[in-house]
């Protein structure tokens, strides 16, 4: 108990608090700029922390991590360009909301859901970190295979106009993810001789190309049509006003979505190697599945913003479970954090709870304080950013186009990735025209590598008897059954709807 109070007090001293505030501000800023991510900010700024005392250094980096997770949603909502990969799902409904003149509502929902998800996950971390880390260890190839398979069917089946369309888009995403090195034999496949493709197609250029650049192409098309029909029309804007914000009562009416996504995010965060993008997609899919108005999704549903944002922010708390209890970073950002821990002589792992309890409680406190600052800084900003949508279309889309180009280049220093972005913008344009879901494509692309690796390992370990192995792994079996149930239920619902439509027609 003494350690608890000592930890809280040490985290609430002036150094760490200022460090968190600066960190959160930097994080939101970096997260909001497409191409710059929280992970990059931490990589660039971690040497700055070497001179600080350990808790201040951690406070600074945790602030960046938390701020960056929210910051990505700002450009996703305003410009349809995810500022960071995990904000991709936020753009699906955030941007339509902005177009409908509800930008402030979307931004504040993203912020509140982020903070809500983060607070929930941090609390969960505080309570169940130690026991949960034991469960996380149980996730081997068999379990991951079926967890990912479940996420696949669940999200791809729900986000498209129909399950077959969703699964088609998902399969194309999986195909694109096959580019690169074969994970088993390390021989290159589908790279057509480009060494740049040896590590596979990069996510950020694809996401920015499909969402941002495609949007620009379509906007150009739209304005050409408008000019043809009415040459004297005034320049259009993305949204006409920033609209009202979101009240506390309205926020709480979305508590179900936020709670559900927080749980998803915490669980996904605690599993090594999956990461924030998947949590956001699953959070989005779940929000749609349980929504009373699933037809609103894709054209501006507030639930569609809350779902992914609560999930990807809850990942932060979740990812601290394996980080602190096992010394295992679950994603790039926590891998960077571990590097900094080690520099400061802190070796995260099963022993750190016993050897440095004050520090651990200090870190827990920092997580909560960072949420608070995230809320304040985000709220101050949302009023300012939301004016961006009032700019005339020809200005805002020029800026979007330019930001896409510079963002992709800045993220990788690679012209090649710009070509990738442009090619996927063209693919995205046709997908949009033929009504294939970006969401399903991206979920296929994001999850395929993990799925392939786990599935092929599972088959290898099974030594010719996959069913026998599956029956020995209860967690895997559970997810296998859930997948089958999900497929049956979605097909049944679609069949019913089709029948209904036929009868009424």
Partner 1 sequence: MNAFRKFALTLRNSAIICSAMASFAVADTYPDKPVEMVIGFKPGGFSDAMARKLSEPLTEILGQPIVHTYKGGAGGSIAATAVKDVPADGYTVVVATSLTFGFNPLQGKVNYTKDDFDYLLTMARFDTAFVSLANKPWTDFNSMIEHAKATGMPLKFGSLGPADRLQMEAVMKATGVVIIPLPVKGGANMMQQILGGHVDFGLSGGPHVQYVKSGEMIALAASGSEPLNATPDAPTMSSLGYPAVSYNSVIAAPKGLPDDVKAKLEGALLEAAKSEGFQELVTGRYVGIPPMNGSQTAQSIEEITKAMQAVISASGN
Give yes or no for a contact between 64 and 77, defined as CB atoms under 8 angstroms apart: no
Q: Say which residues have a Cβ less than 8 Å from residue 430's Cβ, sequence separation at least 6.
A: none
Near partner 1 by CB under 8 A, which window of 190-198, 244-252, 295-303, 437-445?
A: 190-198
Inter-residue contact 227 to 277 (CB < 8 Å)? no
* Interaction between residue 12 and partner 1 (CB under 8 A): no
Task: Indicate whether 339 belongs to the interface with partner 1 (CB under 8 A).
Answer: yes
Question: Closer to partner 1 at the Cβ: 175 or 181?
Answer: 181
**Site for partner 1 contains 471 (CB under 8 A):** no
Instruction: Please choose, from the candidates 113, 65, 18, the residue with its C-alpha nearest in 3D space to the C-alpha of residue 308.
Output: 113
Examine residue 48 and tell whether it contacts partner 1 (CB under 8 A): no
Least gap, CB of 270 to partner 1 (angstroms) = 11
Site for partner 1 in 14-43 (CB under 8 A): 39-40, 42-43
Q: Which two tokens stand for residue 283?
A: 């959070």
Of 15, 349, 357, 466, the residue at the interface with partner 1 (CB under 8 A) is: 349
Task: Choose one: 3-11, 67-75, 206-214, 343-351; the region binding partner 1 (CB under 8 A).
Answer: 343-351
Rule CB under 8 A: say whether 474 interacts with partner 1.
no
**Residue from 12, 224, 342, 481 that binds partner 1 (CB under 8 A)?**
342
Binding mask 166-185 for partner 1 (x = CB under 8 A): ---------------x-xxx
Q: Which of 131, 244, 247, 350 binds partner 1 (CB under 8 A)?
A: 350
Which C-beta is closer to partner 1: that of 243 or that of 330? 330
Residue 121 is a binding residue for partner 1 (CB under 8 A): no
* Residues listed for the chain: 505
Q: Interaction with partner 1 in 80-119: which residues (CB under 8 A)?
A: none
User: How many other CB atoms are found less than 10 A from the CB of residue 80?
Assistant: 26
In terms of phi and psi (left: phi > 0; alpha: psi -120 to 50; beta: otherwise), the region of 364 is alpha
Nearest to 81, CA basis, from 310, 430, 411: 411
Contacts of 98 (CB under 8 A, 6+ apart): 77, 78, 106, 238, 239, 389
Please say whether the beta carbons of 437 and 165 come within 8 A: yes
With contact defined as beta carbons under 8 Å apart, do 81 and 210 qualify?
A: no
Q: Is 326 near partner 1 (CB under 8 A)? A: yes
Q: Does 479 bind partner 1 (CB under 8 A)?
A: no
Number of residues that bind partner 1 (CB under 8 A): 49
DSSP class of residue 237? B
Should residue 130 be labelled a site residue for partner 1 when binding is judged by CB under 8 A? Answer: no
- For residue 405, state whether it binds partner 1 (rule: CB under 8 A): no
Separation between Cα atoms, residue 438 and residue 149, nearest integer Å: 18
Q: Give the integer Cα–Cα distance in Å for 214 and 409.
A: 17
Say if CB 9 and CB 50 are below 8 A apart. no
Q: What six digits make up the tokens of 381?
A: 């900003």
Residue with token string 């650049």: 213
As a whole number of Å, the CA-based R_g of the chain is 22
Q: Residue 65 Cβ, how far from partner 1 at the closest point, in Å?
A: 13
CA–CA dist 436, 426 (Å, integer): 13
**Cβ atoms 307, 284 nearer than 8 A:** yes
- 205 touches partner 1 by CB under 8 A: no
Cβ distance to partner 1 smaller for residue 272 or 401: 272
- Largest pairwise CA distance in the chain: 74
Minimum distance of partner 1 from residue 308's CB (angstroms)? 24
Instruction: List, in sequence order, every residue forming a beta bridge with 245; answer none if it has no partner.
Output: none
Nearest-angstrom CA–CA distance, 103 and 96:
9
Residues 411-430 touching partner 1, rule: CB under 8 A, are 413-414
Interface with partner 1 (CB under 8 A), residue from 12, 48, 127, 137: 137
> Quick one: which of 54, 322, 401, 407 contacts partner 1 (CB under 8 A)?
322
* Near partner 1 by CB under 8 A: residue from 3, 18, 332, 423: 332
Q: Which is nearer to partner 1, 41 or 439 (CB)?
A: 41
CA dihedral 40→43→47→49, nearest 10 degrees, is 80
- For partner 1, give the closer residue by CB, 317 or 348: 348
Q: Considering the rule CB under 8 A, would residue 466 count as an interface residue with partner 1? A: no
Site for partner 1 in 215-254 (CB under 8 A): none
> Minimum Å distance from CB 349 to partner 1?
5
Among the listed ranges 188-196, 288-296, 387-395, 402-410, the one in contact with partner 1 (CB under 8 A) is: 188-196
Of positions 2, 14, 51, 187, contacts partner 1 by CB under 8 A:
187
Residue ranges of E strands in 355-465: none
Contacts of 337 (CB under 8 A, 6+ apart): 42, 58, 61, 62, 65, 323, 329
**DSSP H helical ranges for 189-273:** 203-208, 214-229, 248-252, 255-270
359 lies in the site for partner 1, by CB under 8 A: no
196 part of the interface to partner 1, by CB under 8 A:
yes
Shortest Cβ 258–partner 1 spacing (Å): 29
Residues that bind partner 1 (CB under 8 A): 39-40, 42-44, 46-47, 136-141, 181, 183-188, 195-196, 198-199, 272-273, 322, 326-329, 332, 335-336, 338-339, 342-343, 347, 349-351, 413-414, 453, 457, 460-461, 463
């Amino acid at each position: 108990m003494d350690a608890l109070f000592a930890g809280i007090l040490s985290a609430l001293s002036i150094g760490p608090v200022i460090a968190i505030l600066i960190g959160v501000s930097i994080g939101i800023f970096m997260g909001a700029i497409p191409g710059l991510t929280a992970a990059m900010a931490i990589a660039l700024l971690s040497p700055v922390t070497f001179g600080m005392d350990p808790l201040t250094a951690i406070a600074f980096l945790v602030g960046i991590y938390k701020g960056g997770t929210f910051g990505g949603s700002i450009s996703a909502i305003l410009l349809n360009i995810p500022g960071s990969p995990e904000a991709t799902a936020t753009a699906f409904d955030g941007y339509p909301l902005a177009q409908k003149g509800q930008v402030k509502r979307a931004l504040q929902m993203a912020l509140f859901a982020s903070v809500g998800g983060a607070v929930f996950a941090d609390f969960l971390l505080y309570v169940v970190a130690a026991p949960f880390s034991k469960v996380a260890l149980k996730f081997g190839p068999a379990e991951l295979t079926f967890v990912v398979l479940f996420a696949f069917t669940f999200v791809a089946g729900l986000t498209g106009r129909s399950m077959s369309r969703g699964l088609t888009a998902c399969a194309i995403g999986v195909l694109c993810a096959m580019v690169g090195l074969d994970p088993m034999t390390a021989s290159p496949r589908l790279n057509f001789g480009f060494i740049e493709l040896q590590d596979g197609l990069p996510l950020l250029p694809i996401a920015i190309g499909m969402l941002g650049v495609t949007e620009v192409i379509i906007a150009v098309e739209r304005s050409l049509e408008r000019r043809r029909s009415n040459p004297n029309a005034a320049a259009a804007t993305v949204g006409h006003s920033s609209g009202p914000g979101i009240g506390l009562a309205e926020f709480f009416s979305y508590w179900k979505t936020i709670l559900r996504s927080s749980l998803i995010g915490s669980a996904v965060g605690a599993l090594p190697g999956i990461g924030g993008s998947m949590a956001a997609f699953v959070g989005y899919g779940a929000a749609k599945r349980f929504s009373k108005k699933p037809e609103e999704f894709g054209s501006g549903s507030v639930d569609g913003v809350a779902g992914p944002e609560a999930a990807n922010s809850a990942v932060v708390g979740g990812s601290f479970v394996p980080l602190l209890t096992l010394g295992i970073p679950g994603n790039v950002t926590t891998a960077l954090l571990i590097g900094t821990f080690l520099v400061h002589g802190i070796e995260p792992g099963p022993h750190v709870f016993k050897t440095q309890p004050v520090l651990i409680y200090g870190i827990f406190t920092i997580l909560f304080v960072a949420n608070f600052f995230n809320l304040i800084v985000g709220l101050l900003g949302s009023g300012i950013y939301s004016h961006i949508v009032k700019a005339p279309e020809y200005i805002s889309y020029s800026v979007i186009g330019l930001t896409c180009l510079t963002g992709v280049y800045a993220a990788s220093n690679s012209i090649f990735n710009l070509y990738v972005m442009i090619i996927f913008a063209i693919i995205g344009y046709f997908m949009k025209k033929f009504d294939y879901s970006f969401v399903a494509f991206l979920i296929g692309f994001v999850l395929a590598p993990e799925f392939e690796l786990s599935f092929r390992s599972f088959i290898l370990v099974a030594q010719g008897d996959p069913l026998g192995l599956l029956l020995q792994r209860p967690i895997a079996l559970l997810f296998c059954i859930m997948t089958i149930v999900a497929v049956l239920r979605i097909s049944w619902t679609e069949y019913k709807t089709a029948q209904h439509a036929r009868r009424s027609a």
